[in-house]
Amino acid sequence: MRLQILAISMAQSRILLWGLGRENRAYLQYLERTGWDGEVLLYDESSPSSDNGEPLPQFSFNILPVEDVGRALATVELLVRSPGVSPYKPEIQAFLKGRGRVTTSTSLALSALKLQGVRVVGVTGTNGKSSTSTMLGCIFEASDEKYLVAGNIGKPLINYVSNGEDLRDTLIIVELSSYQIFDLDVAPSYVIFLNLFVDHVEWHKTVQNYKKDKLSILYRPGIVSAIVHPDIYANHASSLDYISAFPIPTDSERKNQCLELDGTMIDLTGTQAAASGHMFTNAAAAATMAKILGLSTNTIEKGLRQFQGLAHRLQVIETADGVSFVDDSISTTPESVIAALKSFQDRRIHLILGGYDRGLDYTSMLDALSDFDIGSLILIGDVGTRLSKLLKGEYSSVAPTTIHRSTDLVGSLDDLDLQSGDVVLLSPGAASFDSYRDYIHRGEAFADEVKELLVAKDKHGKPTDTII
């Protein structure tokens, strides 16, 4: 176990960074504040710029053209990749088979923080990471404990290394994707593992690799306690004494919007934490970890009541003439679509599906469509093309009467037959990269499209009762 990997990187005279996303930008800032005087080589598949108004780091680096990457890899021992850069790329695989070391700033930071005695909770799973991390943060907000939320829904973890702060009495909650888990040297002291579905096959190359890479966090050294979904516990982790299963809320608990924790009932009636089945499960996981970390039941209830949900996760962005427009753009898997549909079980749904095709299996989602009142489907992107063919073929029995095809969200709402009580739900079940920067950009495009639709209706004399 190489806990000194951060120090090792500082001892190098040359480092190669692959990708200049937010994490590697933060790593350059780390090098700058620690006074490292070596050479940084940078390769980025897109031209480095100050996108979204974010300036480039001041630390100097030499940008490599693609034809020089192979030669550059032969001159370095450390490659720090952006999480989105797959280590399964042939060049990186060859580097790993030689004398090279590949890592991320998240791995470097986690090793350094653990050496300093900082407690870190890692939250992972295919779905629900952001919500659960936020819920746990809300619970700690309701306590007297110091905490911060980092990672994919906060600042990169490397921001908290060598920054002059003493964090030994602060709990850090960090959301971790499989992209970051792949090459961790150590695990967080505490881990929440929510679920495991098929995702990111294009990055991991195979379903088997995805599952193996995701589950590897449970086998990294340094875990004090981990809680996992009961299915994961039964299939993968029952032999590990530091792992236990968190409870899945019972039908009675879901119906009454209460959660039993160590014999005490937590009343979550009317809260976002109990707004849907999958959100309630996230709340159960967050509450279980909070209890392990020593927080009281009253604090847990208070914190979960403060949880307001996340942007682009089942977010009602407009309500007009009795129609709700819901942004669930963060949905990138078939399972998350099913979970979103269950949130509107008793309403007619106009569902927007599709996006970048990563080869996911949508058969379970198509099978589930018959369980809901689907007024129409709007199919977008390459996934939309594939779903359209399936719905005209072997899944024609579950296809609604009205199916619209669109390349993206623009104009996708114009022809919908909307009635009071309906829900227009953007829950794409696919990545956004074919048409948008990310799921946030896609959600913003949906909000813009909704506003244009309502403005057009208003101009035609149809009153709206828009609520933002």
pLDDT at position 249 is 94
> What per-residue confidence (pLDDT) applies to 308?
87
Q: Around Cβ 388, how many Cβ atoms within 10 Å?
A: 18
Cβ(266)–Cβ(259) under 8 Å?
yes
**350 strand-pairing partners:** 376, 424
What would the mean pLDDT of 419-444 be, rounded to a whole number? 90
Is pLDDT at 5 greater than 50 in this prediction?
A: no
How many other C-beta atoms lie within 10 A of the C-beta of residue 437?
Answer: 12
- 67 vs 465, residue with greater confidence: 67
Q: What is the mean pLDDT of residues 450-465?
A: 66
What is the rounded distance in angstroms from the CA atom of residue 431 to the CA atom of residue 1? 35
Q: Are 287 and 123 in contact (CB under 8 A)?
A: no
Which distant-in-sequence residues (6+ apart) come within 8 Å of 358 by Cβ?
199, 200, 201, 202, 430, 431
Judge whether residue 54 has pLDDT over 70. Answer: no
pLDDT tens digits along 216-260: 999 999 999 999 999 999 999 888 999 999 999 999 999 999 999
Give me the DSSP letters along 359-426.
Answer: ----HHHHHHGGGS-EEEEEEEHHHHHHHHHHHHTTTGGG--SEEEEESSSTTTTTT----TT-EEEE
**Percentage of the residues of the chain whose pLDDT score is greater than 90:** 61
Q: Please check the confidence at residue 461 and state whether its pLDDT lies above 70.
A: no
> How many residues in the chain?
468
Most confident of 22-36, 66-80, 286-300: 286-300
Long-range contacts of 385-389 (CB under 8 A, 24+ apart): 385/354, 386/357, 386/362, 387/353, 387/354, 387/362
Average pLDDT estimate for 366-380: 94
Residue type, 49: S
pLDDT, residue 339, reads 83
Residue 55, pLDDT score: 58
CA distance 118 to 216: 22
How far is Cα 180 from Cα 151, in angstroms, rounded to an integer? Answer: 10
Q: Mind listing the pLDDT tens digit for each residue in 309-356? A: 777 888 888 888 889 999 999 898 888 898 889 888 889 999 999 999
Give the model's confidence band at 182: pLDDT under 50 very low, under 70 low, under 90 confident, else very high: very high
Burial class of residue 75, CB neighbours in 10 A (0-12, 13-18, 19+): exposed
Could you tell me what percent of the chain has a pLDDT over 70?
92
Task: Write the single-letter amino acid at 111.
Answer: S
CATH code matching the domain that covers 5-103, chosen among 3.40.50.720, 3.40.640.10, 1.10.3720.10, 3.30.70.141? 3.40.50.720
d(CA 260, CA 265): 4
> Does the structural domain 107-306 have CATH classification 3.40.1190.10?
yes
Question: Distance (Å, rounded) from C-alpha 217 to C-alpha 246?
Answer: 17
**pLDDT value of position 464:** 36
| pLDDT of res. 53 | 44
With beta carbons less than 8 A apart as the criterion, state whether 184 and 102 touch.
Answer: no
> What's the rounded Cα separation, in Å, for the pair 132 and 284?
9
Look up residue 101 and give its two tokens.
């070391």
Give the contacts of 105 (CB within 8 A, at least 6 positions apart): 23, 24, 26, 27, 30, 80, 156, 157, 158
Q: Helices 334-342 and 277-292 meet at what angle, rounded to 10? A: 100
Report the alpha-carbon distance of residue 345 to residue 51 in Å, rounded: 40
pLDDT digits 0-9 by tens, 20-45: 888 999 999 999 899 888 899 999 87
Given a cut of 90, whether residue 52 has pLDDT beyond it is: no
DSSP-based three-state secondary structure for 60? coil
> Worst-scoring range by mean pLDDT, 63-67, 100-104, 172-176?
63-67
Distance (Å, whole) CA 331 – CA 382: 16
Nearest to 366 by CA among 325, 406, 407, 403: 403
Residue 29 CA to its chain's centroid (Å)? 24
Indicate the average pLDDT of the chain.
88
User: CATH 3.40.1190.10 occupies which residues in the chain?
Assistant: 107-306
- Region(s) of the chain under CATH 3.40.50.720: 5-103
The domain 315-459 having CATH identifier 3.40.50.10440: the answer here is no
